[in-house]
Structure 1
Amino acid sequence: MWGYMRKLAIGAALSGALALAGIAAPAASAATSTPDLKFTGVTVNNGKAIVVGTTKTVSVPVTYTLTRPVDVNIDGDTTFAGVILYRGTLKSLQNMVGPDDVPTCTTTATTDTTVTASCTEKIVIDPQGDLSEAADATTWKAGGLYSYTDGTSSDDFLSFNSGTAVWGNLGTAKLQRAAKLTADASPEPVAKGRTITVKGKLTRADWNAAAYKGYSGQQAVLQFRPASSTTYTTVKTITSGTGGALSTTVKASKSGYYRYVFAGTATTAATKAAGDYIKVN
């Protein structure tokens, strides 16, 4: 398997081909001209938003159809084809992630001139290595990547060329910051009719700081579920304050669970707190 770079240089200008680094020395000759490849039906993460926290890598499934000329062999060794995700434009890349391994493709149709295959791959996103700024929480574009190496190698001599082509605007995928939410109802136990204070905190992933930080100015819904029920109902809606702090009061009526729910924004995923039980005497 050949080595290929998962990330293109941020902000690099593309002049007909993208520069890749870390390509292993080739073992055989490969076609040096750009073949007529067609990437169609690109689906990223089953059409769902990609939610990324601060430490755990996220494996993103990608499916697509690849049609190539019958005389072009994509072997994953000296030639490679797959789908990447990028932010910005091909002329002005802001960020990019690609597959960690060679895609798996199964031939579905052939003609005298073309071969069509159904392909799957995994793009693994590492928040500490691939994401570094708030602007990464946005809609990314899918692109089709083709790379090749061509040359000879021996103990006495090494010579090779490499090249890359990318077809852009093949689809989109929303990438969001993961969020966390807490809820704490007190005092406990409490007499019926007395005041209960429900506090909490809304935070979201800050990729630059590799930590969760408070998300202020956001609406959160307080919900209640009686101990005898499995269904939550909405009590009221409040807005998070400094550092994402949440606090409101309600009158104690019956024992049960309080929680906060955040519906999410364009850049931040929805989340909900675990229910906090309070006993009412």
Structure 2
Amino acid sequence: MARTTMWKAVVAGGAALALTGVAAMPAGAAEGGVAFSRVSVNGGKPIVIGVQEEVEVHTTFRMTTTLRYDGGPMVYPYRGTTENGEVLWSSIITSDCNVVDRAKGICDFDEWLYIDPRDLDLGNEDAGTWRTAALVYLPGDAQDIDDMNLPVRVQRATRLTVDASPEPVAIGKTITVSGRLTRANWDTHTYQGYAGRGVSLQFKATGASSYKTVKTATSSATGSLRTTVKATGPGTWRWTYYGNSVSGASSSGGDHVATQPRVLHSAFPRVMHSV
């Protein structure tokens, strides 16, 4: 997969960097004199990407160096090798140094990495596990780039809808809950039905603070979901998909269903009286 890098800006000190494409990494790394540590990407959670919305990934790290640097520092997902691989970002903003030890050149940084699926050359095959690199630009077109030995999971976003009926329903009667599970297709920039997935039907009774799983249904060839349950009281229904290695987790919105008391009919016939 050949991809092209286009740099838009490189600014030293709180650097703002930008490129388009899932691009080849810059070559010519210069090792020595810089150490990165305490790297956290997205709080350790997967990076979930849809087809339209720009994703913001908060990253923190520590850099130790007494060398002067011209750009960065920055941390980002990559695949392949640090010298000849692919990187995953549209733009990066790095904070100024939060000084930990000035004499030793120890600084903590916050970073905001942005991924815009409308700009990047993302394909469905790009979902999965990436690695993490740290980079700083040094004077004279040199750079220090390190593999942080930190895996980062990149997932295709999923979506769920829900509809519960009838509304209202008598207690003890049947409720039909339907919906649809779709997943981001990065090749076509659309959401498409996600088939054969186990999806949890969850219920939160009126007054309760959390949802509980009632049963599980499997999505059809088009991603459709449909099942029935007995009404036990008023509350809200939703679908939840817990994701997998290449697909993100998601929950539908909630559909509230009110209930009515069940009407009991007398077993005795009505007696008619004549006057």
TM-score norm. by structure 1 comes to: 0.75
- Counterpart of 1:2, as a letter, is V
* Structure 2: stretches of 5+ with no match in the other structure: 1-8, 12-16, 261-275
Cα 1:218–1:247 change in 2 (3 A) is same
Question: What does residue 93 of structure 2 align with?
Answer: 101
CA-to-aligned-CA distance 1:13-55 (integer Å, 9 cap, x gap): x7644xxxxxxxxxxxxxxx76521111111122222222222
CA contact (8 A) 1:83 1:98 kept: no
Question: What does residue 249 of structure 2 align with?
Answer: 270
Does 2:227 correspond to 1:216? no
Cα 1:181–1:5 change in 2 (3 A) is closer
**Cα distance between partner residues in 2 of 1:169 and 1:177:** 24
**Map 1:87-126 → 2, pairs under 5 A:** 87-90=79-82, 92-97=84-89, 100-111=92-103, 114-126=104-116
Secondary structure at the aligned position of 1:117 is classed as: strand
Question: What does residue 137 of structure 1 align with?
Answer: 127
Select which of 42, 47, 72 maps to 1:45.
42
Cα 1:102–1:190 change in 2 (3 A) is closer
What is the root-mean-square deviation of aligned Cα atoms in Å?
Answer: 2.8
CA-to-aligned-CA distance 1:122-174 (integer Å, 9 cap, x gap): 11111222351123222221112133564xxxxxxxxxxx4544222342322
**Cα distance between partner residues in 1 of 2:86 and 2:70:** 29
More moved, 98-107 vs 178-187: 98-107
CA contact (8 A) 1:7 1:96 kept: no
- Counterpart of 2:46, as a letter, is A
**Map 1:187-266 → 2, pairs under 5 A:** 187-266=166-245
The runs of 4+ residues in structure 1 deviating greater than 6 Å are none
Select which of 114, 117, 133 maps to 1:127.
117
TM-score norm. by structure 2 comes to: 0.76
% of aligned pairs identical? 34
Does 2:10 correspond to 1:2? yes
Larger radius of gyration: 2
CA contact (8 A) 1:201 1:214 kept: yes
- Counterpart of 2:58, as a letter, is P
* Residue-pair matches, total: 247
Does 2:69 correspond to 1:74? yes
- Counterpart of 1:82, as a letter, is M
CA contact (8 A) 2:48 2:155 kept: yes
Cα 1:92–1:244 change in 2 (3 A) is farther
CA contact (8 A) 1:83 1:99 kept: no
CA contact (8 A) 2:194 2:222 kept: yes
**Cα distance between partner residues in 2 of 1:10 and 1:84:** 12
Question: What does residue 62 of structure 1 align with?
Answer: 59
CA-to-aligned-CA distance 1:82-112 (integer Å, 9 cap, x gap): 222212333552443275334421332255x
CA contact (8 A) 1:185 1:199 kept: yes
